[in-house]
Structure 1
Amino acid sequence: MDKDPADTPWILLASEPGKWQKLSPIAILYFAERLIRQLASQFIYLLPALLVGYAQIRDNPGLWLPVLSALLTLVGLFAWLSFHYYRYRLYKGHLQIRSGVLHKKHLDLPFERIQNIKLEQPLYYRYSRHVCMLLDSAGSHKQEARIYALAQDFAERLKREILRQGGTTEGQQADKEADPAVTEQEKLLISRSVPDLVVHGITSNRIWIFLGGLAPFFDNLFALADEQLSRLGLDLDGLLNPAGQAWWQFGLYVVSLVFILMALLTLLSIAGSLIAFYGYRLTRSDDRYIRRSGLLTRHEVSMKLSRLQVIVRKQDWLDRLIGRINLKFEQLNANIEHTGAVAVSGKLMVPSIDEVQCQALIDDIYPSNQMAQIRYQGISRRFILRNGLLALLPFAGLTGILLFKGESQAMAVCASAYLLTLALIWQRWRRWGWAVDEEFVYLRKGLLGVDYYCFPFPKVQQTKFRQSIWMKPARLCSVTLVLASGGQTIPFLPEIDGRRLIDISLYQLERLKASWM
C-alpha cells in the first residue's frame, strides 16, 4: 500500500523535486464540498420552477428521492475523479499543477511571481490536521493555484521552500517563522469578541439587497407563507386586508411583519459574521500583518507591509450611530475571486472597531498619516447640477405620462421621489473631499455613511486626466490615480487643482523613489 503523499517526509521534495505528487485521499471531501457549493450557487435559477411546482413536490416527495440519490452519486464520482487526476510538483523554480476531469489544465507558476501564500483549514480537515494551500501572484484577476489536503506541518515546510526558492525577502521571514521562539514574538494588535461580531453582523446587514433579489418571487413566497400560516390558524389575507379592520390595526400588523422579516434577516447576517470572523486575531511579525479567523473554515491571511496599497476607513449610517468602524487594508490583487468574501487575498478587514482602536491600527502602519485631522477640499457644486439633470430625465418623462392621464396623486409621489433623489445627490456631493500632504493622498466619500481612503504617493502607478465638453467651459476635470488595487477617481475638480494633484503625485513619486510593492 502506498504511503499518503501528503504525509511524505520533506526529504522527498528536497531530493526529488521533479517528482509528481498526489494528494491525500481526504482531498475528495474538499472537491465534493466545492462542487456542492457550485451547485447551490446555481440554485437561484431553479427557484422559480421549485416555487411553481411546490404543491406537486409536496404531494409526491418520493419522486425526488431517485433524483437526489443520482445527484449525490455524480458529486461523489466527480470528486473522486478530480482527486485522481490532480498532480503537483516543484520543478526548476516553478510550481506545476495538473488537474481537470473534462477539461485538462496544466498550471506553471514561477516562484518569483508568487506574492501571497495562505493556508485554509475547513472544518472537516481539523481532526486530520490537513490544510489547503492557496497561492496568488501580482497582476492576477483570479486565484492562481490551490493545493488541497496537505498535512499541516508539511504545508508549512512547503510554504517556506517555495518562498525560499523564489528569492523573496518573505522567504527569509518564513525561515524565521520556523523557529517557535520567533513565532511567539508575533505582536497581537487586536482581537474581536463574539459581541463585537454580533454588532458587525447587525450593522453590515444588507436587507434591501436580499429583498431585491427575491422581488421576482414575492407572489410565490406570499402564497407559500399564507399556506403555512393557515395551517397554524392565522389568516394572512385577513390580517393584510385594510377594508376589514381599523387603519391603526392594519398598520400594526404590517409593521410587525416587517419587523419579523428584518429580525430574521439580521439573524442570518449575524450568523454570517460569526462564521467568517470567529476567533479573529490580527498580529504583526516584523513587517507582516497576519489575520486568523473562521468558525467552520479557519483562514490565515498575511499581508506584507510593502504590498499594502490603500487603507479604507468605512462607516455605514448605522456604524456612525453606534460609533463603530470597519477598517480595510487593500493590497495587490484586490479583485481576486475566492470562495468567501472575507478571504479575498487582496483585502484584510478588521470588523467593528471603535475610533481609538481604528486610529491605533492606522498609526501602527502609517505613523505620519493625518487622515483624522487633515482639512479636506470639496468638489464643484456642478456635481449636483449634472447629476440632478440626469435624474430629471426619467422623472420628467414619467410625470408627463401621469399628467396626460390626469393622475395627480401619482404626480405628487413622483415629484417627492425626485426631491428625495436631489437630497441624496446633495448629500453625496457634501461627502466628497480630497487632500494631500508630503507623503499621502487622502480621499473622503460616501452617502449616508462616510469612507476615508489613505495611500502613499509611491503606490500611484498611473494618473488620468479627464475633461468632458461640459466640464471644459467651467474649467473642471476628473482625476484618477491608479493603484495596484484599483483606481481612485475624484470628480468635478477645478482644472488647476486637478493638474496640480497630478503634478504633485508624479513629483512625490519621483522624489521618494519607493517601491509600489
Structure 2
Amino acid sequence: MMTLHQPLNDLSRIAIMDKSSASQGDDPHLDSKDIVTNKSINSEQTNTDDLQQWQALSAWSVVSNIFSTLKNILSNGFAIVPIVYTGWRQGFDMQWGILASSLLLLLVTLSAIIEWRKFRFRLNNHQLEVKRGLLFTKKDEIPLSRIQNIRYEQPFYFKPLSLGTLVIETAGSKSDEAHLAALDTQQAQTLKRLLLNLSHTDATAPTHEHPHTDNQHGIENTQPIVRKSLWDLILFGFYQNNFIWFAVIAGPIAGQVDLDKIFDSPLAQQFWLWVQQQTHQNIGLQTIMAIVGLFALYSLFALISIVAAMLKYHPYQLDKHDDTLQRSGGVISHQQDALAIKRIQLVHLQQPVIARLFKRWTLYFKQVKGHEVGHKTKQHMLVPSVKSTEIELLLAKIPQLSGGASALPSSYSSIDINWLTKRIALPLILASILTIMGYYGHQSPGFFEFTWFITFMVILAIYIRYKQWGYVVADKVIWQHSGFFGQQWQRVAFEKVQHVNIIQTQGQKQAQLAYVEVGLASGSVVFPYIPTHVAELIITRSLNATSHDNRNWI
C-alpha cells in the first residue's frame, strides 16, 4: 500500500485526475454520462481511502456467520446420521432434542456477535491486515503477492440489502485466509480490484494521460472464454454427483433395518410376485430389471445434484480479464471468482463413467494446495460439462497458461506390463492357498467356485486399471492418463515442476523402469513403471524450462 498522497493503482490515479480536473471548473463538453462516470470514480476513490483505515464489518455479518457455522456443522455431520437414526428408532425425549438445538443456536449466535464486534480489516503497505479475537487478539498480515483466489459471494439474504461477502484464499493456507462478510457491494468490488491490481501490476507505473480511456480498460480487456447453458449444467449435475456418499450413509442405516420383516410384508410379496409375472421367472430379465431399478435410484439421487448445480453455477460464464480468470454465476447465492492465470499449477480433466456416455468433461484449474491433509479438498476453479471438441478452443483462449494451449491427446503410451504382473501375483497366490486348504478341508465345490470367481474379478479390476495408466510427453507439457470406468487427464507444464523424484526397486533397475514423482505446488503427479529414458527426459525438460524462467511465484 502507498501512503494517502500516493496512487494505489490505475483506478486511484483516474479518480485523482478527475478530482483535479473538476476543481479547475466545469467542462461544458462533459455530457451526463461523463458526469455519472466521474461521480462513480470519485465514490470508488473515497472507498479506496477508507480502506486504508481499520474497517468494521456490517452488523449483518452476524447473520452470515450464523449461517456459515450451521452449514459447517451440518456438512461435517454425516458420521452422526446413523447414530441419530438409531436413537430415533430406540426412542428419545423430544424436549431434550429441542433444548439441545436451542442451546446450540444460542452459542452459535453469541459466537457470531463476538466475531462481528472484534473483527477489523484494512489495506496497509501492500498487505491486507485482519485482526479478531476476544481474550486474545489474532492479527493476520496477508501479503498481496500470496493471494491465491478472490471469491465474491452474494447469498439470497444479502441481495435485497446490496451486500456481499469477499472470500480471500492464499497460497498454502489450509482454509480461507480472510472472510469479509456483509460488505457493501461497491466497497467489495473496489477491494477486490485493489487486491488483484496490487498483486499483479506495478503500483508505481506512470500516470496515463487519458483517464477516460483507462476507465474503459477493464471492459476492453475482458475476453469471454466459455458460457454454459442450463442444459449443460443439468448434464453436469447428473453425471457428477455424490451418490457414493449416499451409499456410505445408507449402509449403516440399512444395518439397523429389519430386512426380513420388510421382505415378508404384503407389499414386498406383491411386488416380487409382479416381477416374476413380468419376467416369467427369467433370471436374465430379472437382472435387467434390477439394473434399471438401480439406475432409477441413481437418477432420483442425481436430481439433488442437478438442482444444486443449477442454483450454484447458472448462468455460468468464464472470462479472461488481462491475466486473470473470472468466473461468475449462481441463482440464489451469486458468486464471482477471480484467479490469476500464473497461479494455475495443473489442468485436470475428469470424465466419470456416466459422463463418457455424453462425451463431456469437467475441467479444473488447480491452484496451490495447503500443507494440511484436510486442505486437499480445497475447491478449484472448474468449467462444467465441456465437450471434447471444446477443450482445445478453450485452452487456446488462455495463451498465458503455462506450457501454451494443448489439445487433448488422442492416444497415450501405456506403463510397463510389469506393473500388472506384480499386482496380479498376490490374488493368485491367495486363491491358490485357499484352494489347497479347501481341498484338504473337504470343502464343497461352491467354495472353490466362489474363491476363483472373486480372484477373477480382482484381476479384471487390476487389468482395467492398468489399461488406463498412460502418459504423453510433449515439448512443454507432460500428460498423465488414469482412471477405472471413468477417465482423467492431468496436464503438467514443465516450468511449473518444483521437483522430480525417481524411485527404483532392484527389479525395476534391471528392467530399466522407474517410478517418477513430479512435484508441483498443487501436489504430486506419479508416473509408475515408465522407462528410465522417459524419466530422464522429464528431468531434462523440467530443468530446461526452469533455467530459462526460474521465477517461482511461491
Normalised by the length of structure 1, the TM-score is 0.83
Cα distance in structure 2, aligned partners of 1:292 and 1:205: 21
The answer to which of 353-362 and 202-211 deviates more is: 202-211
Task: Return the match for 2:108 from 75, 78, 90.
Answer: 75
C-alpha separation in 2, matches of 1:405 and 1:13: 85
- Equivalent position amino acid for 1:493 in 2: I
**2:498 aligns to what?**
461
Correspondence for 1:216? 252
Alignment partners' CA distance in 2, 1:273 and 1:506? 41
**Deviation of the 1:9 alpha carbon:** 8.2
The aligned counterpart of 2:349 is 313
SS at match of 1:131: strand
Residue by residue over 1:80-124, the C-alpha shift from the partner in whole angstroms, topping out at 9 and shown as x without a partner, is: 222222222333333222224577532222233324322122221
Larger Rg: 2
Q: Deviations over 1:301-338 (max 9, x none)?
A: 12222222222222222222222122222233388999
Of 485, 488, 509, the residue aligned with 1:451 is: 488
Q: 1:148-167, aligned counterparts within 5 Å?
A: 148-166=181-199
Deviation at 1:300, TM superposition (A): 1.3
**84-93 or 376-385: which moved more?**
84-93
1:87 and 2:120 matched? yes
Partner Cα distance (1:377, 1:16) in 2 = 54
Provide the rounded CA distance (Å) in 2 between the counterparts of 1:122 and 1:338.
26
Distance in structure 1 (CA, Å) of the matches to 2:200 and 2:395: 30
CA distance in 1, matches of 2:91, 2:324: 54
Residue 32 of structure 1 and its aligned partner are, at CA, apart by 0.4
**1:136-175 equivalence runs, <5 A:** 136-166=169-199, 168=201
**Which residue identity lines up with residue 465 of structure 1 in the other structure?**
I
Give the aligned residue type for 2:193: R
Counterpart mapping for 1:465-484 below 5 A: 465-484=502-521
CA distance in structure 2 between the aligned counterparts of 1:461 and 1:449, rounded to whole angstroms: 29
Cα distance in 2, alignment partners of residues 101 and 408 from structure 1: 71
Does the 8 A contact of 1:163 with 1:171 survive in 2? no
How many positions carry a matched residue from both structures?
A: 499
Among candidates 493, 501, 506, match of residue 530 of structure 2:
493
- The corresponding residue for 1:385 is 421
The answer to whether structure 1 residue 235 and structure 2 residue 267 are counterparts is yes
Q: Does 1:14 align with 2:49?
A: yes
From the superposition, tell whether residues 96 and 211 of structure 1 become closer, same or farther in structure 2 (CA, over 3 Å): same
Following superposition, the deviation at residue 181 of structure 1 comes to 6.3
Mapped contact 1:458–1:514 kept (Cα < 8 A) = no
Q: Which secondary structure does the structure 2 equivalent of 1:441 belong to?
A: strand
5+ residue gaps, structure 1, are 1-7
Contact conserved, 1:402 with 1:408, CA < 8 A, in 2? no
User: Aligned to 2:131, which of 77, 87, 98?
Assistant: 98
Q: Which amino acid counterpart does residue 79 of structure 1 have in structure 2?
A: A
Output aligned runs, 1:329-348, within 5 Å.
329-333=365-369, 344=379, 347-348=380-381
Structural mapping, 1:119-134, within 5 Å: 119-134=152-167
- When the two chains are superposed, the root-mean-square deviation of aligned CA atoms in Å is 3.9
| 2:355 counterpart SS class | helix
Q: Which residue of 1 aligns with 2:81?
A: 47
Does the CA contact (< 8 Å) of 2:324 and 2:338 recur in 1?
yes
Give the one of 22, 29, 37 matched to 2:63.
29
Q: CA deviation at 1:280?
A: 0.7
How many angstroms apart in 2 are the aligned matches of 1:378 and 1:187?
38
Alpha-carbon deviation of 1:388? 1.5
AA matched with 1:87: R
> What is the CA distance between 1:61 and its match in structure 2?
4.2
Q: Using the TM superposition, give the Cα deviation of residue 79 of structure 1 relative to its aligned residue in structure 2, in angstroms.
A: 2.0
Look up the equivalent residue of 1:464 and give its one-letter code. Answer: N
Paired residues for 1:207-286 under 5 Å: 207-220=243-256, 235-236=267-268, 239=271, 247=281, 251=286, 258-286=294-322
Q: Is contact 1:135-1:143 (8 Å) kept? A: yes
Q: SS of the counterpart of 1:123?
A: coil
Instruction: Give the aligned partner of residue 187 of structure 1.
Output: 223
Question: Normalized against structure 2, the TM-score is what?
Answer: 0.78
| CA shift for structure 1 position 507 | 2.5
- Is residue 2:296 matched to residue 1:296? no
Question: Alpha carbons of 1:248 and 1:491: their partners in 2 closer, same or farther (altered >3 Å)?
Answer: same
Q: Conserved in 2, the CA contact under 8 Å of 1:309 and 1:332?
A: yes
Q: Pick from 389, 392, 408: which aligns with 2:445? A: 408
Sequence identity percentage: 23
1:107 corresponds to:
140
**1:211 Cα offset (Å):** 0.7
1:296 Cα deviation from its structure 2 partner = 2.9
Once the two structures are overlaid, the 10-residue window that deviates more, 406-415 or 381-390, is 406-415
Displacement of 1:294 in angstroms is 2.2
Structure 2: 5+ residue stretches without partners: 1-42, 206-210
Cα distance change on mapping 1:30 and 1:161 into 2, 3 Å? same
Distance 1:274 1:80 in 2: 33
